[in-house]
Structures are given as structure tokens and as C-alpha cells.
């Protein structure tokens, strides 16, 4: 079993803490994505799992065994650095077999393994071709073949699609996800790209300044962001925040934002008066003449079937995703209705989301 378990993992470089007290478990066969901006500690975490960096404290368990102080080579993990750097002077067979040759595996066994892998990826007819003559999709499959030929317990991938153009990347995202569904190997994948993460992950850890802000499924991360950072990092455009100041009582089902009463998911905690923010995704806003939440249309970005309309309000600019045929003329005054059951409320001091029926509902199915 290739469960990866990280317990109180901590990494400091001198005074600087790159990874702070991380705890998570990647279940056997899960595709796990570490997502966050540059410098948040993703690569450092991955390198500790790989055995390329020693933690300052904490433990790493692979399939239940404590591997924290094992050398990289003693961990049955494949670290995929650059998925696309094939060796141009070698043919397909030699490219795929290269990792096994490095391990010192006998030639006859390499031959069998390479042929099995090539059949699996449906490139067995290309084995003797030079890689320089292959089409893009086949080159990617050769690269994947080289990664999976070792049959490790787990794969670690650090921004493997980093340098690809968008079209190629979308294709590879699909290929990688499909491959994962077929071989079901535990995978830890690092990216700063939310679209890659949302498209591939079973679970995502969103990291910020060395801390995991949320560890959950893509849907939970999107619908119930645990912090303002997560809400802002995920989604395009990201969640809107309407700042307000208030105390809150458990059981309340509305909040007062600058004179407008807004229905929200039922609160499950009391809070003394403090600075708060109402969080609403652009697709949960519509125009409604009767709403007391008002603003002026600033402009609209046409996206075919939808449009992103920017409305200037006293809370700052608000972006709404509306059907493309909704009139949105710059300068026009509009009312904004927010979909009550999808709103989040954040404590602006800590950035944390308050617990509401939104979370309780999901938790119970």
C-alpha cells in the first residue's frame, strides 16, 4: 500500500521557515496536488517526501513505514522532474528503458518491461523509432512511459507541465489524469496553476507561506474555502469580498452589510463585533432591481455564452458572471442579488471562514 503520511513536518532554512507544521495523508491511489503561489513551500515539501531534503522536524511515512531519514534511492518513489526532456539521440525503446538501465537491471528484463509499458501506452509500434521523428502526443507518451516503467509505489511531480503552451498543457492534463485512472498510483503533484489542480486532483492542499490553508477535494475548496486566501487564489475571477463590521449570533440567517440585509447560510457560531467580509463567487450574483445592494456598471468582458460584468459599489468593485444576453451598459445603476445558500463569511482579522450551514450541509452529504 502506498499511502503517504506527513506528520508535523517542519523545515527551516536558518531563521526562515519554508514549511510550517504540515499534516496530511495521501490515500493509496490518490492524485494529490499541492497548490500555491511561488515560494509557499510546495517544492520543499515534495523534496522532503522524495528524500532530497531532510526535515527540521516531523515524520514521513510511506506505506506505513517511517522513511523520514531514508535516502532518496531507498524510497520506492519516482520523482518526475521534467516530463518532456527526452534524450533526442536515443530511440523510443532506449528512452523508456533508461531509468531501468540506470538501476542496473539486466537487459532482458528491461526489454520485457519496456515492451509492457509501451503496449500499455499504445506506443509499442513506435519502439524502434527515433524520438525526434515523433508527433507531439507520442513524445508525451514516451515521456510518461519513462516515468512509469519503474512501477514505483508513488510518483512525485514538480510542475511537470510548467513550460508547455496552453493547448499542449490541456492535452497533457487529460493524459495524466487518464493515466492515473488506469494505473492508480499514489501521486503528489506540485503546481501553482489552479486549473491543473482543479482538473486533476482528488485532493488539494492549498499552501501559503509554508502553511497548508486547506486540504480538501477540489469541490470543497471551491465551494467552501476555509480562508480568504484560498477563496482569492481559486476561481477566475476569484471570490468577491464585501467588507462589513458586525457581531454575529449562532442561528442568525442574515447579515447587515451597509444597510442591506443579506440572507446567508445559518450561522453556527457566535462572534463578538469585528471586521468581517461577505464572500460571493461571481456566478452567484445576478442583477435584481429590488436589491438594496446597488452599484454602477463599470464594464463587461464578453466570453461567448457568459460575460464578466464589473460593478462599482461602495464596497469596491464586484465581478458578476452573467449570461451574455443580460444588458450591462457602462454607467447604468443596478441592484445585485446574491445567492444566499452559497455565501461565505470571513473574519477579516484572521482570514478564517466562519462555520455556517454551508459547511454543515456538505459534511452530512
Give contact residues for ligand ATP (rule: CB under 6 A): 13, 16, 18, 36, 38-44, 192
Nearest distance from C-beta of residue 210 to ligand ATP, angstroms:
7
Of the pair 141, 192, the CB lying nearest ligand ATP is at 192
Determine whether 24 is exposed, middle or buried from the number of CB atoms within 10 Å of its CB (0-12, 13-18, 19+).
middle
Nearest distance from C-beta of residue 45 to ligand ATP, angstroms:
7
Of the pair 23, 219, the CB lying nearest ligand ATP is at 23
What DSSP string describes 292-350? S-EEEEEEEEE-SSEEEEEEEETTEEEEEEEETTS---TT-EEEEEE-GGG-EEEETTT
- If DSSP codes are grouped into helix, strand and coil, which group holds residue 319? strand
Nearest distance from C-beta of residue 188 to ligand ATP, angstroms:
12
Of the pair 41, 235, the CB lying nearest ligand ATP is at 41
The C-alpha cell that represents 295 in the structure block: 452599484
Of the pair 36, 279, the CB lying nearest ligand ATP is at 36
Of the pair 46, 198, the CB lying nearest ligand ATP is at 46
Q: What is the DSSP letter of 116?
A: H
What are the beta bridge partners of residue 78?
155
Helix orientation angle between 92-103 and 136-148, rounded to the nearest 10 degrees: 20
Q: How far apart are CA 276 and CA 293, in angstroms?
A: 17
Nearest distance from C-beta of residue 227 to ligand ATP, angstroms:
17
Of the pair 44, 224, the CB lying nearest ligand ATP is at 44
- Give CA torsion, residues 300, 302, 308, 311, to 10 deg: 10
Determine the distance from the C-alpha atom of residue 180 to the mean position of all C-alpha atoms in its chain, rounded to a whole number.
16
Q: CA-CA distances (angstroms) from residue 363 to 26, 32, 224, 359?
A: 20, 20, 11, 6
Listed residue (197, 151, 160, 180) closest to 80, CA to CA: 160
Listed residue (280, 196, 193) closest to 242, CA to CA: 280
Determine the distance from the C-alpha atom of residue 365 to the mean position of all C-alpha atoms in its chain, rounded to a whole number.
22
Of the pair 44, 117, the CB lying nearest ligand ATP is at 44
- If DSSP codes are grouped into helix, strand and coil, which group holds residue 103? helix
Listed residue (122, 126, 125, 127) closest to 111, CA to CA: 127
Nearest distance from C-beta of residue 304 to ligand ATP, angstroms:
32
Determine the distance from the C-alpha atom of residue 361 to the mean position of all C-alpha atoms in its chain, rounded to a whole number.
23
Q: How far apart are CA 151 and CA 140, in angstroms?
A: 18
> Using an 8 Å Cβ cutoff, are 34 and 42 in contact?
yes
Phi first, then psi, for residue 316 (nearest 5°) are 110, 180
C-beta nearest to ligand ATP: residue: 43
Of the pair 20, 266, the CB lying nearest ligand ATP is at 20
Of the pair 91, 208, the CB lying nearest ligand ATP is at 208
Amino acid at each position: 500500500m502506498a499511502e503517504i503520511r506527513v506528520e508535523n513536518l517542519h523545515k527551516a532554512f536558518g531563521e526562515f521557515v519554508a514549511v510550517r507544521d504540515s499534516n496530511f495523508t495521501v490515500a493509496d491511489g490518490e492524485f494529490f496536488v499541492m497548490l500555491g503561489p511561488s515560494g509557499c513551500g510546495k517544492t520543499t515539501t515534495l523534496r522532503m517526501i522524495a528524500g532530497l531534503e531532510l526535515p527540521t522536524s516531523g515524520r514521513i511515512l510511506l506505506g506505513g513505514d517511517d522513511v523520514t531519514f531514508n535516502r532518496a534511492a531507498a524510497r520506492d518513489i519516482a520523482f518526475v522532474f521534467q516530463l518532456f526532456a527526452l534524450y533526442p539521440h536515443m530511440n523510443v525503446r532506449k528512452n523508456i528503458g533508461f531509468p531501468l538501465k540506470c538501476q542496473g537491471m539486466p537487459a532482458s528484463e528491461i526489454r520485457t518491461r519496456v515492451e509492457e509499458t509501451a503496449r500499455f501506452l499504445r506506443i509499442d509500434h513506435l519502439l524502434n523509432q527515433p524520438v525526434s521523428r515523433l508527433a507531439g502526443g507520442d513524445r508525451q507518451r514516451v515521456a510518461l512511459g519513462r516515468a512509469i516503467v519503474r512501477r514505483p509505489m508513488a510518483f512525485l511531480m514538480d510542475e511537470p507541465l510548467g513550460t508547455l503552451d496552453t493547448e499542449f498543457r490541456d492535452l497533457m492534463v487529460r493524459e495524466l489524469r487518464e493515466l492515473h485512472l488506469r494505473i492508480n498510483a499514489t501521486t503528489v503533484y506540485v503546481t501553482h496553476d489552479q486549473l491543473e489542480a482543479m482538473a486533476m486532483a482528488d485532493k488539494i492542499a492549498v499552501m501559503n507561506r509554508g502553511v497548508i490553508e486547506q486540504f480538501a477535494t477540489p469541490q470543497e475548496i471551491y465551494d467552501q474555502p476555509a480562508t480568504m486566501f484560498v477563496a482569492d487564489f481559486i476561481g477566475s475571477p476569484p471570490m468577491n469580498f464585501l467588507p462589513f463590521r458586525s457581531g454575529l449570533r449562532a442561528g442568525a440567517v442574515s447579515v447587515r452589510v451597509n444597510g442591506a440585509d443579506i440572507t446567508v447560510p445559518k450561522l453556527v457560531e457566535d462572534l463578538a463585533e469585528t471586521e468581517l467580509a461577505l464572500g460571493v463567487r461571481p456566478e452567484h450574483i445576478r442583477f435584481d432591481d429590488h436589491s438594496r445592494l446597488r452599484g454602477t456598471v463599470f464594464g463587461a468582458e464578453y466570453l461567448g455564452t457568459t460575460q464578466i460584468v464589473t460593478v462599482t459599489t461602495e464596497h469596491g468593485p464586484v465581478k458578476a458572471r452573467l449570461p451574455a444576453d443580460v444588458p450591462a451598459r457602462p454607467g447604468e445603476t443596478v441592484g445585485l442579488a446574491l445567492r444566499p445558500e452559497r455565501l461565505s463569511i470571513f473574519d477579516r482579522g484572521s482570514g478564517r471562514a466562519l462555520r455556517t450551514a454551508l459547511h454543515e450541509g456538505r459534511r452530512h452529504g
